[in-house]
Amino acid sequence: MFIKGYSVASVVEMCCCGCFGLSFEEKEKKTRRNFHTEGHISEELLLNDEVEDEEEAEEEEEDEEEDNCSYGDDISETEKGDHEEFRNPSKRSEDILLYRTQNGLICREFPVKETHKVVRTEDENGNKMVNEYVREYKIGSGSYGKVVLYRSQVDGKNYAIKAFHKSHLLKQRVAPSETAMTDVFREVLIMKMLNHPNIVNLIEVIDDPNTDHFYMVLEYVEGKWVFEGAGPPGGLGQNVSRRYLRDIVSGLMYLHSHNIVHGDIKPDNLLVSANGTIKIGDFSVSQVFEDEKDELRRSPGTPVFTAPECCLGLTYHGKAADTWAVGVTLYCMILGRYPFLGDTLQDTYDKIVNDCVWLPVGMNPLLKNILEGLLCKEPAQRLTLEMVAVHPWVVGDVGPIPQFPCWCKRNNLKEEQKSDPLKCCT
């Protein structure tokens, strides 16, 4: 079923393809079309491929903080309404996050460093610097800002830094009452709460009230994309796919246990570190809930990873939609192709809602079982992440995916044991 009210703004948001959620600016300009009347969408947008053209290559030579390009403020009222509909659950994520932050309800032993002074200089070799960080090269760019590789002069490590202009964020409307600054603010608040080995870590936030510059200093994951080299005719193989899936599920179980829905799980947002560990990145469309009630209205994710219930224009459960996206990702890793892909957005949604998933004859029965369970079109009958964690194919020779002893739960247990010493003996 094709949702005729699917907004251009929502479709453009789907093509976030950078490792930290920033799509290429030129591609955004080219794909900002009226899909309401055309009813078609390019394969590039459906698959979210990264394409650098000559202008993008030339832009490598420019200073990432001095760019004065347009950021696409021309969003219609209808599109704003669609966007607003997604980002307004019963209580706004920003309000929940602020409450948790103000009351110390974060899952980090050591808080994210906050710096309120920006010093922009050059090192002895003429390389641009932001505070202690020396610019190496640009990683990606998009409608909100740029991601640049920097090296710290303090510890010698590389960091991926998201660089923004606050004035651009404040001018760019994403909803009647919200700007792009709302998106970035929410992403920062979410990442300030998180600390897990399978999630990209936010190291520092640099926000000088006297300048227009705003920076997010992130852990640099130097590895390749999960899906890189995994195209037809084959995938990554069962052993590698199993190892990656265990990391993805571990990180996503952690997010869900803190009532955070990622909203855009896909290979492009899953990075591989030098030691082969998967890191989940890009929280630009993530949402937070007060409790287990994770109902949402609009899905801002990538079309080919969208769950069937999200294609129907009805309310859906965010965690179940995340789990479907895990199934699509596993399918990609195993078979090197997408389970449901049409020539148009409508065709793709039709296939997601109506077609049976194709699996090759002779596939490992356990692998077939988990793929069918994850790609079950009925969300209430879909495998949960907890079921996946103990599934025989996932367990293999390693064992079930272990529960991560996160900081806030350890802290809560300590407090409970203080108030009731007998609990430590039960």
Q: Which helix (H) or strand (E) holds 190?
A: helix 180-193
Measured distance CA(135)–CA(149) in Å, rounded: 6
Closest CA to 257 of 319, 328, 165: 319
Measured distance CA(35)–CA(46) in Å, rounded: 13
Q: Is 162 annotated as a binding residue?
A: yes
Q: Angle between the 238-257 and 318-335 helix axes, to the nearest 10 degrees?
A: 170
Q: Which helix (H) or strand (E) holds 237?
A: none
> N- to C-terminal Cα distance for the chain?
53
Measured distance CA(133)–CA(125) in Å, rounded: 14
**What Å distances lie between residue 118 and 1, 113, 156, 182, 270, CA to CA?**
50, 14, 19, 22, 30
Closest CA to 171 of 181, 163, 162: 181
So which residues are the catalytic ones? Answer: 264
* 3-state SS, residue 105: coil
Measured distance CA(325)–CA(304) in Å, rounded: 9
**What Å distances lie between residue 299 and 5, 19, 127, CA to CA?**
13, 20, 41
Measured distance CA(4)–CA(413) in Å, rounded: 49
- CA angle (260 as vertex; 11, 220 as ends), nearest 5: 75
Measured distance CA(152)–CA(135) in Å, rounded: 9
Amino acid present at 151: R
* 3-state SS, residue 405: coil
R_g of the chain computed on alpha carbons:
21
DSSP state of 53: -
Which amino acids are annotated as binding site for ATP, given as ranges? 162
